[in-house]
Amino acid sequence: MNTADLGLPVDVPSTALFTDQYELTMLQAALRAGTAQRRSVFEVFTRRLPHGRRYGVVAGTGRVLDAVENFRFDAGVLAFLRERSIVDGPTLEWLADYRFTGDVWGYPEGEVYFPGSPIMRVEGTFAECVLLETVILSILNHDSAIAAAASRMSSAAGDRPLIEMGARRTHELAAVASARAAYVGGFSSTSDLAAGFRYGIPTVGTSAHAFTLLHDHERDAFRAQVDSMGRGTTLLVDTYDVAEAVRTAVAVAGTDLGAVRIDSGDLLLVAHRVRQQLDELGATGTRIIVTSDLDEYAIASLAAAPVDAYGVGTQLVTGSGHPTCSMVYKLVARAGSADPNAPLVPVAKKSTGGKTSVGGRKWAARRRDGAGVAEAEVVGTGPVPRELTDDQLLVELIKGGQVIARESLDVVRERHAAVRAGLPLSATQLSRGEPVIPTEYVVGG
């Protein structure tokens, strides 16, 4: 089912206005100057990882493919541009027929990246490529930040499942994208039904404190929930007194009670006490789920606690302190004329302040040691060294304007787990550090 057909806000019929005005004014000027049709190469990369992070996670690629495919200037959009006098008549005529006809290469979704990695490469005419800058960056910067936080949290959680539950802590549409990115990074489910509907992510949820407070007695609330959802449900036990609530929960549901949830207090101490109490009551199979503003550090601190699952909200959907990846979209090569056969000329910004970049159309490969563990991210221009040809990272995503590389989220999620396992062990350390492998540049002819 295409949710756009239902008029739901999780999809939009066009992504053409998810852009900055200067992209359209650049287009207008280039059309007038006769340079708009020059073949061009833009690349997405970041100059540095968020402070202290050891690797980044590529997420949002599938959403980028959807966005490029739906980048259309329909009558309503064109009318808006005309009424505001944002661009002139000839530019409006050009936009009316806009279809991206170029090629897009990129790191597969779920891959990891490092400073300088050419995460995505967009090739086509300057006119058709320049318009995509903002929508591509907005998706990749957001989703990759959430996926990186999710990856750190899932690494800290080990085999214990993680529930994404941050919808109420972010914009309603960002919540859907966050749930998707969290699933890529290793979370197993979400509380957000729009994300479940849109992307097929498993959804979970039972009750909040309001449900307990609604009833005259905690026992009545538990009884109502068990009668409605069965003994396998999860009962929230920290509304009043935790120990009393656990006794009541087992009395109501029996020893087959599915789980109890703890949402406040000293989670390490309370989890141990609840586990002991459940075991003494015979509910040895009842799981303990903890929530309450967790991040990767809190999850790691609970590694020795008898916790069976974690629910994470605010810290996840805000990137655990790093809500963006500082990715940029830069022109790195362009032809000297509109002739489609004109050779590409490397170009790059040269300035002070750490914003320099490397010109030229890039390739990337990951060099591994004898044990198959990554030891360097190699980025270059020109021919790919023979010893790295089988380790190249970029894959073709769009060819001649047609999407050719859509993947299921489960495939992407499995890829990330496998790629992370192939990094040095220090990648999973939560302490601040440098990128776990260096980026090496090879400048060819």
Give me the pLDDT at residue 422, please: 97
- Of 5-14, 60-69, 427-436, give the lowest mean pLDDT range: 5-14
Do residues 16 and 72 lie in contact, with contact meaning Cβ atoms separated by under 8 Å? Answer: yes
Is pLDDT above 90 for 78? yes
For 21, 80, 87, the CA distances from 84, given in Å and listed in that order, are: 11, 6, 8
Q: How confident is the model at residue 445 (pLDDT cuts 50, 70, 90)?
A: low
Cα distances from 179 to residues 118, 183, 349, in angstroms, run: 25, 6, 36
Report the DSSP pairing between strands 362-368 and 374-381. antiparallel
How confident is the model at residue 4, as a pLDDT?
44
What number of other Cβ atoms are within 10 A of residue 9's Cβ? 10
**Is 233's pLDDT higher than 60?**
yes
Angle formed by the axes of helices 61-69 and 133-157, to 10°? 160
Provide the pLDDT confidence category of residue 10 given band limits of 50, 70 and 90. very low
Q: What angle do CA 111, 368, 387 make, to 5 degrees?
A: 105
Q: How confident is the model at residue 3 (pLDDT cuts 50, 70, 90)?
A: very low
Least Cα distance to 45 among 320, 362, 442 occurs for: 362
The pLDDT value recorded for residue 8 is 44
Task: Please determine, for residue 351, whether its predicted confidence score (pLDDT) is greater than 90.
Answer: no
Does residue 11 carry a pLDDT above 60? no
**Residue 55, Cα to own-chain centre: how many angstroms?**
14
- One DSSP character per residue, 46-67 reads -SSPSTT-S-EE---HHHHHHH
Average pLDDT, the chain: 95
HSE-CB at 102 with a 13 A cutoff on CA atoms is 24
Range 371-394 average pLDDT: 96
pLDDT tens for residues 111-153?
999 999 999 999 999 999 999 999 999 999 999 999 999 999 9
Q: How far apart are CA 84 and CA 69, in angstroms?
A: 26
Q: Among all chains, which residue has been given the structure tokens 């919808």?
A: 167
Per-residue pLDDT of 287-342, as tens digits, reads 999 999 999 999 999 999 999 999 999 999 999 999 999 999 999 999 999 999 99
Assign 32 a pLDDT band (cuts: 50, 70, 90).
very high
Q: What per-residue confidence (pLDDT) applies to 352?
A: 66
pLDDT at 414: 98
- CA end-to-end distance (rounded Å), the chain: 48
Structure tokens at 83: 């009424």
pLDDT of residue 13: 59
CA-based max dimension of the chain: 80
| Range 173-200 average pLDDT | 97
> What value does the mean pLDDT take over residues 40-53?
95
pLDDT at 9 over 50: no
How would residue 375 be classed by pLDDT, with cut points 50, 70 and 90? very high
- Other beta carbons within 10 angstroms of residue 219's beta carbon come to 15
Query: How confident is the model at residue 355, as a pLDDT?
Result: 72
Q: What is the mean pLDDT of residues 46-61?
A: 96
User: How far is Cα 419 from Cα 58, in angstroms, rounded to an integer?
Assistant: 11
